[in-house]
Amino acid sequence: MGTRFGTFEDLLNETLDARRPVADRLREVILVLHPDAVAAVRLGDRAATYGFGPRKMSEGYAYIMLQQN
């Protein structure tokens, strides 16, 4: 099975309520600083990568990884 991609909203929907405001605010900060950032949301990794392109390791510079604990 390959990586599941989705939207940031999909990622928030799979996240505990208490963590959603923190993740949402982090995303806002990233997009204020770099409004044209490319987002790659990998639901299987519970992560959103932001950067200059979709490749998480070579083009991404900011990650939001949502953990259960």
Q: pLDDT per residue over 13-51, tens digit each?
A: 988 888 899 999 999 999 999 999 999 999 989 999 999
Q: Report pTM.
A: 0.83
Which residue, chain included where needed, has tokens 């639901």? 43
pLDDT score recorded for residue 17: 86
Amino acid 1: pLDDT: 52
Give the CA dihedral 60, 35, 7, 21, nearest 10 degrees.
Answer: 100
Q: Where are the beta strands (DSSP E) in 18-59?
A: 38-42, 47-51
Cβ-contact 49, 58 below 8 angstroms: no
Boundaries of domain holding 21: 5-65
Q: How many domains does the chain have?
A: 1
State how far the Cα of 57 lies from the Cα of 13, in Å rounded to an integer: 25
CB 56 within 8 A of CB 5: no
